[in-house]
Amino acid sequence: MPDAASIPVVLKTDSAHGPAWHAIFAEEAPDLILADWDETADLSATRYLVAWRPPADIMRRMPRLEAVFSMGAGIDHLPLEHIPEDVVVVRMVADDVTRSMAEYVTMGVLALHRDLPAYLGETRRGVWTTRSIRRARDRVVGILGLGVLGRAAAEQIALLGFKTRGWSRTRKDIANVRCHAGDDGLDAFLEGCEIVVCMLPLTPETRGILNGDLFARLPRGARILNAGRGGHLVEADLLAALESGRIDSAMLDVLNEEPPAPSHPLLGHPRVLVTPHTASASQPDDAARQVIAAIRNHRSGRPIEHTIDRRRGF
């Protein structure tokens, strides 16, 4: 039995990641008693939960819960309607998550810039054609969403020499990135934007933002990279835009239904690259240390980084 001073923490994650979490907690936070999720266990003493998808009856199972740590940077998978507002909700924005997302966006932008989807589709059919090579400094790349992950991606794209712009709900200032904000700034962001990267949080306002209307405001032959959530994209509109040539190609890390049916029309499309929601993921040791630091701050009354604003939805 843990002593009275110990703080119960429950971990609900992939079993393969559990040992790393337990090793970090045992070595660096012995006063925090980490236990794996168990459907049959008495969790009534739990103060902190680390999970990807907590159950809807979370408060019945954990009436003393003080904070929930999401295993991802987003929160759309959390049952917020069942989590009282006095329970702190924290997103996972560890350094490894930021770095790996910037890597993925860099890879995707370069793939779209250098026509990789089209070349793969053609060579698989035995077609051997070439397209002219555009210089990075002549290509406009726009990042929708300039939070921690979006900002890091925008900075990386700018370093490659692309004409980089960004859009967010509130004004941001990023070196070498032309920033736009708010509804009034969206048209200016889209005008002339040849590669659009979606890194927005999924909220009622951003759901379906990648749609036919947005595509029509881009130059013909623009490219789309969705590294946000499947709900950002109206898939039927993308298919229609690819068919008409309005959109040249796309790279998607997320779809509306995951995993998709093998017959999904975007899988195997000759001008679409799809990856299985692998753009970024927290590393167990890095994530464990972030949670430990946050719990320490919470117990001492200090601010916790990356807590969500429920009014804004992220």
Instruction: Give catalytic residues, as residue numbers.
Output: 229, 277
Short-list 78, 12, 53, CA closest to 314: 78
d(C-alpha 46, C-alpha 8), whole Å:
5
**Main-chain dihedrals φ then ψ at residue 188, nearest 5 degrees:** -65, -35
Reduced 3-state DSSP string for 66-125: CEEEECCCCCCCCCHHHCCCCCEEECCCCHHHHHHHHHHHHHHHHHHHCCHHHHHHHHHC
d(C-alpha 266, C-alpha 272), whole Å:
7
User: In the β-sheet with 7-12, what is the strand arrangement from edge to edge?
Assistant: 32-36, 7-12, 48-51, 67-70, 88-90
Rounded to 5 degrees, what angle do the CA atoms 16, 201, 308 make? 80
Residue whose structure tokens are 């590294």: 227
Q: What is the dihedral of CA 141, 117, 214, 242, to 10 degrees?
A: 150
